[in-house]
Amino acid sequence: MKRWSLLLLILFLAALPLWLTAKYPLHLLIMVGIWSIAASSLNLILGYTGQGSLGHAAFFGIGAYTSALLMIRLGFSFWLALPSACVVAALFGFLIGLPALRTRGSYFAIATLAFNIIVTIIIEHWEDFTQGGAGISGIPKPHPIPLPLIGKIAFTTMAAQYYLVFFFLALTLFFIHRIVHSPVGKTYQAIRGGESLAESLGVNAMANKLVSFTVSAFFAGLAGSLYASYHGFISPDTTNFHIGFDLLIYLLVGGVATLPGPIIGAVIMTLIPESLQFLLEYRIILYGGFLILVVIFLPRGLVGLWRASLWPRIRMRFPANQR
């Protein structure tokens, strides 16, 4: 059932641009894909490794600025700037993780938040390099991909951008799935369950946390690079710590330590504010009330509700092996 459900979901997502041609819905779906990649990166370090990072907006912004500066100032193509941005974000994750991951609990969260604020201040005031508060505009779209016999794939339309983002989302989920279901992933989950206990069993907690944090920063940089190319403009707001809190909300709503959780959270928390635009100032009140209800009544998110309550009932009603 899971395999068939996954296949149907892939076919549905692939067919969406064929009948959903309006620009605004496609724009929302593209943003859902980008936020899903960013939230999935946070899920690796927070959900599976148990380290509460509040600085992922910094890696998101570092990926965006690195990609934009490489394309505009050095003439890199998107296909070279994107992996370079991911590597730079991962390098910052490694360098920050070395001292920050030696702390635990709320101290690590505060350290990453402080790093995020520092990155935002540097980007905002280093005008000769980042153009400061004016931001960077004119960021080019991905260059066309030439294919034999077919011609070339251009990324000038909203549908092409949609397929590009969801290709990288699928790639992100594939790698994270392989990581968390490998022996390394089991080690991460052991650290989440109890770092001292894991160390007593011979696990090098510091090294594993550092690798997890570095990989997490890599995928956050990927999301930032896609964001910069899609919008064509970035500013210091791209690194604002509020983005990190939004990613955390996506995880809480969808479900922490689950692969579909970040996507479900990104879909709901992107579409609900847009659907409540007609309520003007009351929209924020309803939005906040919804979050409070989720935290109180759905501590494991929507995926946790499905796994704990709904899915067991379905399996009891439709057993797999009926005689």
Q: What is the pLDDT along the chain (323 residues), one digit of tens a residue?
A: 667 777 787 788 888 888 888 899 999 999 999 999 999 999 999 999 999 999 999 999 999 999 999 999 999 999 999 999 999 999 999 999 999 999 988 899 999 999 999 999 999 999 999 999 999 999 999 999 887 777 788 888 999 999 999 999 999 999 999 999 999 999 999 999 999 999 998 999 999 999 999 999 999 999 999 999 999 999 999 999 999 999 999 998 998 998 999 999 999 888 887 777 766 677 777 777 777 888 787 777 888 777 666 555 555 665 655 44
pLDDT of residue 313: 55
Query: In the numeric block, which tokens belong to residue 3?
Result: 């395999």
* Cα distances (angstroms) measured from residue 250 to each of 41, 102, 298, 301: 12, 27, 13, 9
pLDDT of residue 320: 56
pLDDT of residue 74: 93
* Cα distances (angstroms) measured from residue 185 to each of 109, 175, 209: 21, 11, 11
pLDDT of residue 323: 42
Rounded CA separation 24/30 (Å): 10
Which residues fall within 8 angstroms of residue 284, CB to CB, at 6 or more apart? none
- Return the half-sphere exposure (C-beta side, CA atoms, 13 A cut-off) of residue 78: 20
Contact predicate 212/100, CB 8 Å:
no
Rounded CA separation 1/320 (Å): 10
What is the DSSP annotation of 85-132?
Answer: HHHHHHHHHHHHHHHHTTS-THHHHHHHHHHHHHHHHHHHH-HHHH-G
pTM listed for this prediction: 0.92
Contact predicate 65/139, CB 8 Å:
no
Q: Which amino acid is at 167?
A: F
Which residues fall within 8 angstroms of residue 47, CB to CB, at 6 or more apart? 251, 256, 257, 258, 261
pLDDT of residue 186: 93
β-strand 151-153 against 145-147: which pairing, if any?
antiparallel
* Cα distances (angstroms) measured from residue 297 to each of 2, 287, 294, 314: 26, 16, 5, 21
Rounded CA separation 35/266 (Å): 6
